[in-house]
């Protein structure tokens, strides 16, 4: 497993970077799985190319958690978070909402856009990642500059090329001007005297986002249903493992667990436009390090890469082979991996993402007459 070793060496060199300890365990597990795949296994995989890879051998992966439906005060926070998520009033000129760039009906991205247009149609510098399953990641943003969903959520409101609000006070003033909102905050945060705070705004959005999960056939496979993947997808999984993709893309999210250098086996051609974590830490050794993105729903979240410049999934896979694993993948291998990646496309929780019924009316009435939405039957 030279690929695993190279990455491991990279990881060791960077002892002081926050790679979780279990990432090393994962690499060890990967080496074992690799040995099994290359044929020295005990015979469990000897039934031909399309035989199932026993889920018990896939311990570097994990199915999505099942979160019970929200109840009580949590349900009220989720409802509030959903309303805020869809609310354009959190932006300057009431022009865009979180959903404008992370369309929940479109797998949580801005489909087809390399970079999103923010407030006043100004383009940002990076591709909008999906919000589905995002809460499972070890940090947020391509460079990991936010620790979690709540820390992330205040960013876009005040970002001049996103929602463009001048500051937190402007956001809170807009919310306080609406009596129904104030009421909803009071219900969701009953213990607080003045609950319309930035911490509660971002906390509610995070409570809503944390339940944006998209279980797929991959989860059924990992749970033991070996027929959940087609023979072509199983073959793709085999190639994925053999090529060493799981050294970086594993765990519950098939990514989102570590920072890795873009360009492990050879330098990524563009070392200047976006240096990844280096722009944040100002440390030369962080040049071109990015958070490994989630591969769940990746077939639906293009265009790909941090700048959205890669236009097909097969091109993304081919580049990964060349730059991240040192493998010149054949067209057949690329296609095979792509078919496996399609099995990671999950089910959008339609009832859960239903926008609050009164929001369009509220938008035209400038915030008057909003009604609270009940989540009694929601939250799968």
Q: What is the DSSP string of 261-315?
A: ES-SSS--S-SSS--BTHHHH--GGGTTEEEPPP-TTGGGS-SBSTTS-B-SHHH
C-alpha closest to that of 210 among 266, 293, 148: 148
Helices and strands (H, E) in the chain, number of each type: 15, 2
Nearest distance in Å: CB 242, ligand HEC: 9
H or E element in which residue 149 lies = helix 149-158
Give least dist CB 95 to ligand HEC, A: 9
Closest CB to ligand HEC among residues 258, 369: 258
336 touches ligand HEC by CB under 6 A: no
Does position 305 bind ligand HEC by CB under 6 A?
yes
> Considering only residues 107, 138, 141, 221, which one is a binding residue for ligand HEC as defined by CB under 6 A?
141
**Tokens encoding 72:** 């009580």
User: Which of 61, 107, 142, 185: binder of ligand HEC (CB under 6 A)?
Assistant: 142
The tokens of 345 are what?
């496309």
Cβ 42 to ligand HEC shortest distance, Å: 26
The Cα 216–Cα 53 span in angstroms is 17
Between residues 129 and 195, which has the closer beta carbon with respect to ligand HEC? Answer: 129
Contact status, residue 23 vs residue 257, Cβ threshold 8 Å: yes
By CB under 6 A, is residue 116 in contact with ligand HEC?
yes
Q: How far is the CB of 333 from ligand HEC (least distance, A)?
A: 8
Question: Between residue 31 and residue 70, which ones bind ligand HEC under the rule CB under 6 A?
Answer: none
Which of 264, 344, 353, 362 lies at the binding interface for ligand HEC (CB under 6 A)? 264
Of 92, 162, 209, 333, the catalytic one is 162
Tell me if residue 10 is catalytic: no
* CA gap 269, 281 in Å, rounded: 22
Q: Is residue 1 part of the contact set for ligand HEC (CB under 6 A)?
A: no
Nearer to ligand HEC, 225 or 270 (CB): 270
The torsion of the CA quartet 95, 100, 101, 107, rounded to 10 degrees, works out to 170
Residues from 193 through 222 that contact ligand HEC (CB under 6 A): 205
Terminal-to-terminal C-alpha distance of the chain: 40
d(CA 24, CA 8): 7
Evaluate whether 288 touches 261 at the Cβ level (below 8 Å): yes
State the nearest-atom distance from the C-beta of 262 to ligand HEC, in Å. Answer: 4
Q: Which stretch binds ligand HEC (CB under 6 A): 11-19, 219-227, 317-325, 346-354?
A: 317-325
CA distance readout (Å), 165 to 149, 271, 364: 19, 32, 20
Q: By the criterion CB under 6 A, which residues form the site for ligand HEC?
A: 7, 96, 98, 100-102, 116, 118, 124, 126, 128-129, 131, 134, 137, 140-142, 149, 152-153, 156-157, 162-163, 205, 240, 243-245, 247-249, 260, 262, 264, 290, 292-293, 295, 298, 301, 304-306, 316-317, 320-321, 324-325, 337
> Which residues are identified as catalytic?
162
């Amino acid at each position: 497993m030279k690929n695993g070793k190279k990455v491991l060496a990279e990881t060791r060199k960077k002892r002081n970077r926050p790679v979780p300890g279990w990432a090393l365990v994962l690499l060890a597990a990967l080496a074992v799985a690799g040995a099994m795949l290359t044929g020295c296994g005990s015979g469990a995989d000897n039934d031909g190319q399309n035989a199932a890879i026993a889920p018990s051998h896939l311990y570097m992966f994990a199915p999505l958690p099942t979160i019970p439906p929200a109840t009580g005060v949590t349900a009220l926070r989720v409802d509030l978070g959903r309303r805020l998520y869809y609310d354009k009033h959190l932006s300057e000129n009431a022009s865009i909402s979180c959903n404008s760039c992370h369309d929940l009906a479109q797998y949580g991205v801005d489909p087809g856009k390399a970079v999103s247009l923010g407030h006043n149609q100004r383009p940002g510098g990076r591709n909008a990642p999906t919000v589905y399953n995002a809460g499972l990641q070890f940090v947020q943003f391509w460079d990991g500059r936010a620790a979690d969903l709540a820390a992330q959520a205040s960013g876009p409101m005040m970002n001049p090329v996103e929602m463009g609000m001048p500051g937190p006070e402007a956001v809170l003033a807009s919310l306080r001007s609406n009596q129904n909102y104030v009421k909803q905050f009071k219900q969701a945060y009953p213990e607080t005297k003045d609950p319309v705070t930035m911490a509660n705004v971002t906390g509610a959005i995070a409570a809503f986002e944390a339940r944006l999960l998209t279980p797929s056939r991959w989860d059924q496979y990992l749970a033991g249903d070996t027929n959940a993947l087609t023979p072509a997808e199983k073959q793709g999984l085999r190639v994925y493992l053999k090529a060493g993709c799981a050294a970086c893309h594993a765990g519950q999210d098939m990514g989102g667990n570590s920072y890795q250098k873009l360009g492990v086996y050879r330098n990524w051609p563009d070392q200047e436009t976006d240096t990844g974590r280096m722009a944040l830490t100002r440390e030369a050794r962080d040049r071109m390090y990015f958070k490994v993105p989630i591969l769940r729903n990746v077939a639906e979240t293009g265009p790909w890469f941090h700048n959205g410049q890669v236009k097909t999934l097969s091109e993304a896979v081919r580049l990964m082979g060349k730059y991240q694993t040192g493998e010149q993948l054949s067209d057949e291998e690329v296609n095979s991996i792509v078919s496996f990646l399609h099995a990671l496309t999950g089910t959008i929780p339609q009832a859960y993402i239903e926008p609050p019924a009164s929001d369009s009316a509220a938008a035209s009435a400038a915030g008057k007459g909003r009604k609270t939405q009940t989540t009694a039957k929601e939250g799968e």
